[in-house]
Structure formats: structure tokens, C-alpha cells
Structure 1
Amino acid sequence: MPNLVNLENVAISFGGPKPVLDGVSLGVETGDRVGVVGRNGGGKSTLISILAGRQLPDDGRVSPVRGLRMASVTQQSQPTGATVRASVLGGEVPDHEWAADARSRTVIEGLRPGGGRGLDASVEGLSGGERQRIALAAALVQDLDLLVLDEPTNHLDVEGVRWLAAHLLARRTALVVVTHDRWFLDTVASRTWEVVDGRVEQFEGGYNDWIYARAERTRLADAAEQRRRNLARKELAWLRRGPPARTSKPKYRIEAAEALIADVPEPRNSVELVTMARHRLGRTVIELEDITLTVPSDPPRTIVNRQTWRIGPGDRVGIVGINGSGKTTLLKTLAGERVPDGGSRVLGTTVRLAHLSQDLSDLPLHRRVLQAVEDVAERVFIGGREHTASALAERFGFTAAQQWTPVSDLSGGERRRLQLVRLLMTEPNVLMLDEPTNDLDVDTLQQLEDILDGWAGTLVVVSHDRYLTERVCDRVVALFGDGRITDLPGGIEEYLRRRDQQLETAGAVRTVASSSATSGTSEADKRAARKEIQRIERRIEKLDTREKQLHTLLADAANDPTRLLDLDAELRALIAEREGLEEAWLEASVD
């Protein structure tokens, strides 16, 4: 079969010294799932814009197959209707019609494009992220041959990213996607395009395969590429020590790649870093004592209710939760930028705290890049090594020439990189990062992780980027909407499992409550309600049995602190699940 779309010798330039794309020829086949990677400003968005027909090249030809059904969602896409319903479905389609269509129902339930407002909410006044979800949902409900997406995960939480990956894998639509989310790329992509120096290098497989190929390519490079080679080796070592790699086609010299990482140490020595952190920070870092946090609504919504949480020296913690669960509010409270509604915050006397927020307004737009960095400090010690302001800026992608660019001329991704450099130049010993991956390319993320590997301090991260959280954090906590800060020994996998259980229980409650509230309920509905009550009771009985076992195990593990922590975390998770089930039982039992 012919390709769905072909690019033949495509070139485009925006007046710079080098063309953005130069003689690019490639095609998208039926069933392809292509991930597009490359540095910010390297031409990724330009490439897919030309591919989708939104932009004309200066030279070359773009040839889509006749009758191609294609949708494209960019970072500038906007809803097309006055309401969420009209924007997603193309008109004021009644509920019974869209709910009868499996694809529309799946997309609307999975993406929740109206959030808590529902499909009939007005588009006016919605945030940029909410508008992006609406535009994404409008594309996904269509029957398409080709879907072109530019950073679709930017405004999704962890479970939203998982849902999108599963949805794209389940449908037969060809896909071309620009993304910096490495977990998403590795899960979805069957091919990878790397945009570099005006060319497009093509690789089989997703992120894991691309890293193999990149490591082999850098192995053969000259000495000037030594730093990049070391980063690729460290990244490979991280990938290979995790779950079995999802290498799809062994087209590269796997043996050579394995030889690259034979002597690479672990990404970080956690024991050594914690010891160093204790010397720098002492015992007390940040302690939240019996705090309560609420957010304005009608009535006010409590996101944390009388919780005590202590962050210690060398802790590396990731905070997860759905959008709107209060992650940023909790992070601001840790940083001292928000006063809790109840309780208190204790800060260690030696703490030097730095907070990377999602706001870029703190950058000096009238200064040049290097000046903006040197305004903070001219030299910094990180990981036991001294870095000049210029050297650290270069590590984050600012070449010697680019360091004299006015800050006002930087793109959003470049400003984010500059914000990170300025933050690190303060030499903090406690670092708080709120969605640090936003607008950052894969190369910059690798540089950030490399720096954090040798960073002896306390780290708290809020991120929807599953790969980053698993890569740099040793511990994960979650906000489930129950007022607690919940430890998750199983990390993000445990979070997703518990969210599935939470949604399943909530759905059962709504079903039973709806049946009970309906006048003249049929005997079949009553039997279904009784069956659901019995299912909840059986689950509660199992949890009660496990709780007794845990108490016995806790007594036996009195002299094993690590085992005690794991068992205690499981016990608290069990109690939280049981309380939710008991509430569901009470609601279901009301006639």
C-alpha cells in the first residue's frame, strides 16, 4: 500500500544561518506510530506542521494519499464551539447519541474534556490546559487514517498519560507525535524520528531503541562528543537495570551497546548522598505538623486534612495525583509560599531552599542569557565539581553564541532551561520542582537528571512525567482526594492500581445509588444492588483478614526498620481502601 503521506526533499528556513529542515525525505505508512524527538528549536514542530499541511515548505513536495482522513492537534489548537459538547462532538449532540458510539464514549470518559464542569460548560473562561484537552478529545472521537499530535501529554496527569497511550495503541490510526515524555514515547512509538541539524534520522522502535542507536553512534564519534557519549551510557545503564527493555527490533549492534555500560556504576549512590545531605542539612529539613489545606470553592474543598509529614535530609520524593488534587498547593506549602489553614511548618536552620514553579515571570527580560545567570552567581559547586555560569548554561543547551541572546527573545522552552540554570546557581540544598519537564526536550532532561544524580540534597518533585519521577525519586506519595498524604511503596504502578480501584468503587456507588433513588425500581435492579453490596462486603472481609496478618508481621519485624516501614505503608493503604469501601457500603445500603 502507498504511504499515507510523503515528504520529498523538503526544505525550509526562517532566515537564520542554517535551514531548519534541509532536503528531508520520509513517509508515514498505514499503522505507523512515529515519535519525533530533538532539541527545542530544532524543527520538530515545523516538521509535523509541514507533514499535516498547515505550513508550506520553501522547497520540496508534500504528497498525501487521496481522501486522507487526518487530524492535527498543536499547542495552539483551540476549541471550535461555544460549549465543550459542541467543540468535541461537532455540535450539540445529545448524550444518548454520543454514549451509543464506543469511540466517543471512551474518549469522553477517558479524557474528561469538561473536567468537573461537564460537557455543557462554556468554553469561555477555561484554562489553556483545559482547552488543549478539548482539542485533543475532538480529534480522538473522529474516524481517522492519520493523527498528528504536538506535545499531547503536557496537560495530562499520570493516569491521563497512561489512558492516552492505551487508547492510541488500541486504535488502528497511524500516529506522528512530538513528545518529551519518554515513558509515553517508549510505550507508543514503533518508530522514532530524530530531528538534528536540518536532517531527520529514522530509527525502529521507541525511546529505548533510540537510546541504543544513539549510544552506538556516539561510541563511534570523536573526542568532542565525549560528554554526550557519557550521558548516553548512563541512560542505557538506567534502562537496562530496570524492567526488561522493550527493544522491538535488534537492528543495532546490541553487543557493542552492552559493552558501553559494562562498567557504568549505578546512576547515584543513595547511601553516600544521604550521608552527605545529613552533614549539610542536619536532622530537620521541613516538617509539616498536623496541617490542613483547603482551596476556595463552594463549599471550600479540603485537600489535606490534619496530616503530619516530615521531609528528611537526602529524601527524594515524587508527589502524584490527578489534576486539581492539590499537588502544587502542597509544594507551595512545603516551600513556605503558602500558609496552611491549620497546623504549622517547621524549617531546618541550615536549609537553603529553591523552588522551580510553573511561573516564568521571575526572569530578567532586559538581560542577556549569561548575564541573567551571572546575576545569581559566577561559579557553583554541584556533585563535588565546580562549574562556571557559562559552563552550566552550556550543559543546558545554551552555546557560547546563544549565551548572548536577550532573555526577551527566548522561546518558552529556552526560558524554562534558563530558569533551571539560575535555580541551580543558588546552590540550594533543598530543591522543589513543579512540573520541571514542561517545554524541555529529551537532551535537557538527561542533563538535568545527570546533575541530580550527584546532587547531595533533599528533592521534592511534582511531575506528570512518569519516567522522570521513577528516574530521580526514591519514594512516591499521592493525593487521592481523601485528605491524606499517602505513601506508595510500589511507586507509580501502585498509584495507578489504587486509582483504578477508587474509580471502580466510585462507579459502583453511583450505579447503586442511582438504582436506589429511582422510583419503581425493578427487581433486576434490586438484585444488582444486593449483588454489589455483597461484593463490597466480601472485599472488606478480605481486607480485615489481611489487616490481622499485617499486625502479626509488624510485631515479628520489630528489629527490621526497613521491613517495618514497608508493612506500615501497606497497612495504611489497606485502612484507606477499607474506609472507602465502608462509605460505599453505607451509600449502597440506603433504600
Structure 2
Amino acid sequence: MALITVEKACLAYGHHALLDHVDFSLEPGEIVGLIGRNGAGKSSLLKAIAGTTRLDDGRINIKGDISVAYVPQEPALDAEHTVFEAVAEGLGELKQLLTDYHRLTSALERPEADHDALLAEMAPIQHKLEALGGWQFDAQISAALGHLRLPADKRIGELSGGWKKRVALARALCARPDVLLLDEPTNHLDVDAIVWLEDLLKSYGGSVLLITHDRRFLDNTVTRIVELDRGILRSYPGSFAAYLGTKAEELAAEEEQNRVFDKFHAQEEVWIRKGIEARRTRNMGRVRRLEELRRQRAARRERVGQVNFQLASGERSGKLVAELEQVNKGFAGKTLIDRFTTRILRGDKIGLIGPNGIGKTTLLKLILGELEPDSGSVRRGTGLQIAYFDQFREQLDENASVVDIISQGNEFLDIGGTRKHVMSYLEDFLFAPARARSPVHSLSGGERNRLLLARLFTRPANVLVLDEPTNDLDIDTLELLEELLANYDGTVFLVSHDRAFLDNVVTQVIAFEGDGRLEEAPGGYQDWLDTKDRMASLQAPAPGRTQASVQPQAKQEKPKAGKAKLSYNENRELAELPDLLEKLEAEQQALNQKLLDPNCYRDTPSDARAWQARIEEIEGLLLEKLARWEELEAKLK
């Protein structure tokens, strides 16, 4: 039996129908991806199901005994709550118990803490949590905060919009409702958090209805695609890739049907214009048929137009764009970039990969001359014309109109050597004349991104810096932007957590591995993953053998010193690497075993957090040492 049923739903803004008598049902255990063009009405449908907006007509039935959690694009949270309090919000009585327990454990870690008093206060809370099974939820909250990199004790009012979205997502996930309604859940998440969310949803057990334009995320999670197109919902079982194949066939069939219809309609219009013959009594049936054809043609909804991207690459820059030699940069005692060396040439398309706040924007500013390194050198090329796409859209005046943002007081624009009226140019980016006169603050997220791209492309540039350009863009627009960037002959720096977009655009990646370590690799995001997997497989045990059974063999197979090609220190380092890796893996395995005990979160929460941090640190060390092993062995070949 369906958990949620939508029957004959209608919703319109003015004369524009977003929902036209649509039907939909969500079955138990389904993960449904709701897709469609920006402005098609996807968020409106989700809001109607969540009960935050009303339909013009139709009905929505939700099975009486199920719980539903809704995460909108811009969630409303209590500014005075801490992150932990906000995430625990949906847990009823457990919320206050967990909040108090978290407050007391944090207090115990302070040097001036009165341990006896705090432990006495904590004892009855622990007993209640035990009785209510609260440790399971405490572990879930801790895991969500860790994977989403949320600061548990920070006030909601101190967070940006992107971080508030993470808090709302964590709150919904930890409440474990029967149905999750998620509007663009991957926006503002880094790749690691997106992968974690994918894994969580696949094992969730409940039903999920989500809106996203992240194609890789859709392919990895959904069991069904539902497309909202021109007011009509259409369902496609299977993955996003399966949907693409079916949709292409449908569009081809629709175009052929329209072509045949339009040809017949045109013939009948020619006939009616012959005059007296059409008005004879014996031809009145044909006249009525033509009237019906006209009604059908008027009612037919044409596909929404596509964005028309054009980008002038300006004068060619010098062959060298930037050269970094042993560059170091840090802030407030934290090293973001440690002894990084690279050479960037004209035409390179570089993807920057890594968690939020790890230093990607800092590297861009070093390359472009907005920052200087703490040590090392940066040599920049000549003739650089830089256009910068800002993910926070700080370049947009909220009170200015769309047309004012683009025109800057001019009626015509020079786009790639062609003179174009500003309103015509805006129509290329799907801004109708009425919408072009609207203020920026009235625009949706997708419209703002299109506007920023429109402004970016009004001036020639041979270096494009794109900081999260894909947020809120629909799939059709994403694919057009990919094509434009792939054919662009300038240099591109791309910061994005959209893995498919990275794979389709960039020719090399710079990956931030933590502690200031930056690694370069050819290809896109998937190529980088494959490289990491190959590095990890160097030490992976053979199938069917335990780690312990492999260890003696590893000792027997220590690499022989290559005296002719390695220095004395490098020979010694290479010989010691297997033992070092063995010790790190053993330590990591022991810590993982400790964390399997659920009591550790209750009895020694500070130890549990320290163990988790050490496990992540070891993971980085293993990657670093494996890469070093590969580098040293390459010198022997």
C-alpha cells in the first residue's frame, strides 16, 4: 500500500500551470528522484506533500501512521539552539536527555571541571538513556555530525545558509522517519559527505522522495525517476541512466508526432482559406475538424527552450598561466598548502577536489595573485583575462533588476564580436522580458546561477574560475555548460562537488588530502578515484587470506635496495615502508574494533572521538606512504 498518494493535483502561478492534474504515489522502500527544469514546479510539489503549501485543486493522502521529515532548500532553525540541539530536535523525549548528556560530557573535558558534581548529575541521565535505547541515537547523531563536519556546540545563528542546510539534513536523517522529503540535499556538501549520504540512503529502509540535479547521486541511489515536464508527471523505473535512454526515444517520437500533426494542420489551414468551398454544407464537418485541430495546437505545450551559452575566450594568454614552486600557505597556525609545486599551461582544465574549507579557494587566490605565499614562489603568466564565478553570488546586487545586472547602463552588448540587445541576450538564458525586470532577490537559486553565468559571459576571458557553478542548475543546463567548457580553448579552474560534471570537463585534478598535502593526477574525478584504489591495492590482502596471514609474507618481500638509482636514505625508507604500513593498519584495525563497542559512546565519549580522529589520520598516512612507495619503486624501473 502506498505511503503517499497524490491525486489530480493542480497548481498554477498566474496562467502558468506547474501541476496539471498530476497523479503520484510513493511506495514503501522506494527512493524516487524528482527531476525537471528550473521553475517546473518540483519544489512546489514537495512543499505540497510536506503540507507547507496548498494545491489549487486535487488531494494528497498520507498514510495515517507514518512519520514524514522534510528538508527544504532553505530550512528554518532556531538561531539560539546549538547544532547538537537542532539535530536532536526530532527525537522527542530523547532530545533533552541527549542534549543534557552532551553538555555534561563537554563540561567534563574542561580543566576546571568539577568531575564529582558533573558525574553525579550525569548518572540519572545515563540510566534513562539506557532504558530508552538512547545510545543508538547518540551514536547516529555523532556519526552525522562527523560526516557532515558540523560543530556540535556552535550556535545556529552563527552558521551560513549552507551549514544550516547540513544541520537540517542531519536532523531529518537522525530522526529516522518513514518518509524523507529532500530538496537538493547535495548542495553545499563536499564529495565525501555526498558519498556518505548515498550509502546511508541505500541502506535507509524507509521511503525517500528527493529533488537533485546531481546525476551521479541519482544513478547511485534512486530506484525510480519521476520527471515533471510541462505540468505533467511521468514515471521511469530504474536508474537515471535508464531514464535517459527511454526519454530520448520519447522525445524523438513526440517530435515526429508534432511534425505529422503540424503538416496536416497546415494543409487544412490552406484549404479553409479557399473561401466559399469550405463553407458549403457538405464541408462543415471538415471545418469543425479544423477548429478542433486549432484547439489542440493551442493547448499543446512546447518544450521549454534551452539556454544558449556563448563565451568569448578573448586574447590568447601566454603559454604559461602559473608556476608554483615549493609554495606554503596557512592561516591561524593551520597549514593549508605545504610545499606544493605545479605548472599550469594555457588550455589546462583543472578540477580542485577536497572537503569544504580545506584550502581550494586559497590555492586559486595564490594562482591568480590575490594572495601571496608564506614561502616559496609563484610565477604568473602574461596576458591573463580572468572571469570569476562566485559560489556565494556576492557579485549580485539583491535590489537591482536582472536587466540592470547585465546591461550596466548599456542597451546593447558585444558578445563574441556580435552586437546583441540586452533583452535578447537575457532570453538566451531563459529570462523572459517580464522576468528580466524583476529584482534579484525574487529569483530562485537556479535563476541566480543562470544570471551570474550570463554576466560572466558578457566579457571576454582566457581564464575561467568557476567556484561551484553547478548548484541549482537543472540537468539540461548542466550538460550545455559542460559542452561549452569542453570546447573552450582558454584555461579553466573548476571547484565542484558534482562528480559527473568534473569527469566531463576537467583534464586533470588537484586533490587536497589534508594537512596541506596536495596531489595531482591526470583525468577527472573517477580517474583520481581509480588512482587511489590502485595505490591502496598495493597492500590489500589476497582474497580469502587474513591480514595476519599476509604479514610474514610481506616481511619476506621487502623491496631490494636499488643502489644505482636511489640515495642511501631513499633505500632505507623503501625498506622500512612495509613494516610501517603493517603497523598503521594494525593500529587502525584495533581502533575500529574498539568503536564497535556501543558502550564506548556512553562511558568514554572523549576517547571515542579521539579514536575516530586517529582512524581518519591513519587513513591519510596510509595513502601518503603508499604513494611514496610507488614513487620510490618507479625510480628503480
Q: TM-score, normalization: structure 2?
A: 0.66
1:427-576 maps to which residues of 2 (within 5 A)?
427-489=460-522, 491-493=524-526, 508=588, 511=591, 546-553=630-637
Give the 3-state SS of the residue equivalent to 2:17 in structure 1: coil
TM-superposed CA distance for 1:26, in Å, is 0.9
Amino acid across the alignment from 1:160 = A
Q: Contact between 1:412 and 1:439, CA under 8 Å: does it hold in 2?
A: yes
Pairing partner for 1:292 from 328, 332, 357: 328
Q: Contact between 2:148 and 2:193, CA under 8 Å: does it hold in 1?
A: no
Which residue in the other structure is 1:217 paired with?
A: 250
Partners in 1 of 2:169 and 2:636 — Cα distance? Answer: 50
Give the 3-state SS of the residue equivalent to 2:504 in structure 1: helix
Q: Contact between 1:113 and 1:130, CA under 8 Å: does it hold in 2?
A: no
Question: Are the structure 2 counterparts of residues 411 and 543 from structure 1 closer, same or farther at C-alpha, using a change threshold of 3 Å?
Answer: closer
Question: Are the structure 2 counterparts of residues 537 and 123 from structure 1 closer, same or farther at C-alpha, using a change threshold of 3 Å?
Answer: closer
TM-superposed CA distance for 1:154, in Å, is 0.8
Stretch moving more, 385-394 or 203-212: 385-394
Q: Contact between 2:150 and 2:167, CA under 8 Å: does it hold in 1?
A: no
TM-superposed CA distance for 1:398, in Å, is 2.5
TM-superposed CA distance for 1:410, in Å, is 2.5
Stretch moving more, 137-146 or 167-176: 137-146
Q: What is the CA deviation profile of residues 350-377 of structure 1, one whole-angstrom value per residue up to 9, with x for unaligned ones?
A: 2111111123232355655345334487
Amino acid across the alignment from 2:10 = A
Pairing partner for 2:382 from 349, 354, 367: 349
Aligned CA RMSD, in angstroms, stands at: 4.0
Give the 3-state SS of the residue equivalent to 2:494 in structure 1: strand
Which residue in the other structure is 1:86 paired with?
A: 85
Larger Rg: 2
Q: What is the CA deviation profile of residues 186-221 of structure 1, one whole-angstrom value per residue up to 9, with x for unaligned ones?
A: 111111122222222222223212222332233234
Q: Contact between 2:315 and 2:462, CA under 8 Å: does it hold in 1?
A: no
1:10 aligns with 2:9: yes
Q: Contact between 1:23 and 1:60, CA under 8 Å: does it hold in 2?
A: yes
Give the 3-state SS of the residue equivalent to 1:508 in structure 2: helix
Partners in 2 of 1:538 and 1:328 — Cα distance? Answer: 26
Amino acid across the alignment from 1:290 = Q
Which residue in the other structure is 2:267 paired with?
A: none
Amino acid across the alignment from 2:414 = R
Partners in 1 of 2:180 and 2:29 — Cα distance? Answer: 11
Give the 3-state SS of the residue equivalent to 1:42 in structure 2: coil
Pairing partner for 1:171 from 200, 204, 208: 204
Pairing partner for 1:197 from 199, 213, 230: 230
Give the 3-state SS of the residue equivalent to 1:350 in structure 2: coil
Q: Contact between 2:387 and 2:464, CA under 8 Å: does it hold in 1?
A: yes
Pairing partner for 1:54 from 52, 55, 58: 52
Which residue in the other structure is 2:554 paired with?
A: none
Q: What is the CA deviation profile of residues 194-251 of structure 1, one whole-angstrom value per residue up to 9, with x for unaligned ones?
A: 222222222222321222233223323449999xxxxxxxxxxxxxxxxxxxxxxxxx
Partners in 1 of 2:186 and 2:58 — Cα distance? Answer: 31
TM-superposed CA distance for 1:43, in Å, is 0.8
TM-superposed CA distance for 1:158, in Å, is 0.5
Partners in 2 of 1:505 and 1:123 — Cα distance? Answer: 38
Unmatched 5+ stretches in structure 1 = 227-275, 516-527, 554-591
TM-superposed CA distance for 1:343, in Å, is 3.6
Which residue in the other structure is 1:105 paired with?
A: 139
Could you list the structure 1 runs, at least 4 aligned residues long, displaced by more than 6 angstroms after superposition.
Answer: 223-226, 276-279, 385-388, 499-502, 504-507, 535-545
Stretch moving more, 91-100 or 483-492: 91-100
1:235-254 maps to which residues of 2 (within 5 A)?
none
Q: What is the CA deviation profile of residues 22-60 of structure 1, one whole-angstrom value per residue up to 9, with x for unaligned ones?
A: 211111111111111122222111101111222221211
Question: Are the structure 2 counterparts of residues 455 and 511 from structure 1 closer, same or farther at C-alpha, using a change threshold of 3 Å?
Answer: same
Partners in 2 of 1:395 and 1:11 — Cα distance? Answer: 29
Question: Are the structure 2 counterparts of residues 443 and 397 from structure 1 closer, same or farther at C-alpha, using a change threshold of 3 Å?
Answer: farther
Q: Contact between 2:368 and 2:380, CA under 8 Å: does it hold in 1?
A: no
Which residue in the other structure is 1:283 paired with?
A: 319
Question: Are the structure 2 counterparts of residues 492 and 542 from structure 1 closer, same or farther at C-alpha, using a change threshold of 3 Å?
Answer: closer
Which residue in the other structure is 2:179 paired with?
A: 146
Partners in 1 of 2:322 and 2:35 — Cα distance? Answer: 38
Q: TM-score, normalization: structure 1?
A: 0.71
TM-superposed CA distance for 1:70, in Å, is 1.5
Stretch moving more, 142-151 or 163-172: 142-151
Unmatched 5+ stretches in structure 2 = 89-94, 103-125, 260-311, 537-580, 596-610
Q: What is the CA deviation profile of residues 165-197 of structure 1, one whole-angstrom value per residue up to 9, with x for unaligned ones?
A: 111011211110011111101111111122222
Q: Contact between 2:486 and 2:504, CA under 8 Å: does it hold in 1?
A: no
Question: Are the structure 2 counterparts of residues 4 and 364 from structure 1 closer, same or farther at C-alpha, using a change threshold of 3 Å?
Answer: same
